[in-house]
């Protein structure tokens, strides 16, 4: 069996948070009001402090897509990817993913961010498998501005991963056995539930609360060389 190599995206492989950056990008393009910028910053702070409930966090950013179809958003998403996201993926993160690819591991990107927003990033990093928060699409083909199903966040990441593994047709090993061998890379205390169930947790540039957990549990801590172009937002 292949070894699972699970990766969080925001503030782990990516320097920054995809949805926070997306909202800022929309404000800069006049697609969201200026007052949204302060609300965005406050949500980012509360999320990383563990003060924002998963539903509140995800619904806040899901609302930015409301009223347009995926096809209508695609040009803006492509520009966002090229101008904001690509420069924020450090070479060290690309190399880390490549190390596991060279080992023949099964690579999975698991993110609390919506699938629509992260799938281009996943493609650039070479991930075939993505588990992410899903957005509701109405009968008219437009985003409802809401999430659907189980959020891929906190305990939801564990549930969604277990369901994904159980559904794989080529699985010959039990889910628990796969998790016992799995790597998971994350920066956030919000990912503690999944870090606790894998056999090889690795924290990457951890937030303050996860750094304490890592020290107490003797987990390895990885620091990635990061650098941003001066023009990055």
Q: Out of 10, 17, 187, 207, which one is annotated catalytic? A: 10
Q: Out of 8, 17, 24, 207, which one is annotated catalytic? A: 8
Task: Kindly report the three-state secondary structure assignment for every residue of the chain.
Answer: CCCEEEECCECCCECCCHHHHHHHHHHHCCCCCCHHHHHHHHHHHHHHCCCCCHHHHHHHHHHHHCCCCHHHHHHHHHHHHHHHHHHHCCHHHHHHHHHHHHCCCEEEEEEEEEHHHHHHHHHHHCCCEEEEEEEEECCCCCEEEEEECCCCCCHHHHHHHHHHHHHCCCCCCCHHHHHHHCEEEECCHHHHHHHHHCCEEEEECCCHHHHHHHHHHCCCEECCCCCCCCCCC
Is 8 one of the annotated active-site residues of the chain? yes
Is 205 one of the annotated active-site residues of the chain? no
For the annotated catalytic residues, the residue numbers are 8, 10
């Amino acid at each position: 069996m292949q070894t699972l190599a699970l990766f969080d995206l925001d503030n782990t492989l990516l320097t920054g948070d995809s949805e926070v950056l997306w909202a800022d990008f929309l404000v800069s393009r006049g697609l969201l009001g200026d007052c949204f910028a302060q609300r965005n910053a406050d949500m980012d702070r509360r999320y990383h402090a563990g003060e924002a409930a998963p539903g509140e966090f995800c619904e806040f950013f899901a609302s930015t897509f409301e009223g347009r179809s995926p096809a209508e958003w695609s040009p803006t998403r492509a520009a966002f990817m090229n101008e904001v996201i690509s420069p924020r993926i450090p070479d060290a993160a690309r190399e880390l993913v490549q190390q596991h690819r060279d080992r023949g591991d099964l690579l999975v990107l698991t993110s609390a961010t919506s699938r629509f927003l992260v799938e281009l990033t996943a493609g650039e990093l070479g991930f075939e498998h993505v588990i992410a928060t899903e957005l509701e699409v109405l009968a008219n083909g437009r985003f409802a501005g809401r999430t659907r199903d189980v959020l891929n966040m906190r305990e939801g990441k564990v549930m969604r991963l277990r369901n994904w593994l159980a559904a794989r047709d080529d699985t010959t090993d039990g889910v628990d056995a796969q998790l016992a061998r799995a790597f998971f890379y994350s920066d956030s205390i919000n990912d503690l539930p999944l870090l606790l169930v894998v056999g090889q947790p690795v924290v990457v540039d951890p937030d303050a609360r996860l750094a304490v957990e890592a020290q107490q549990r003797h987990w390895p801590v990885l620091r990635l060389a990061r650098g941003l172009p001066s023009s990055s937002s």
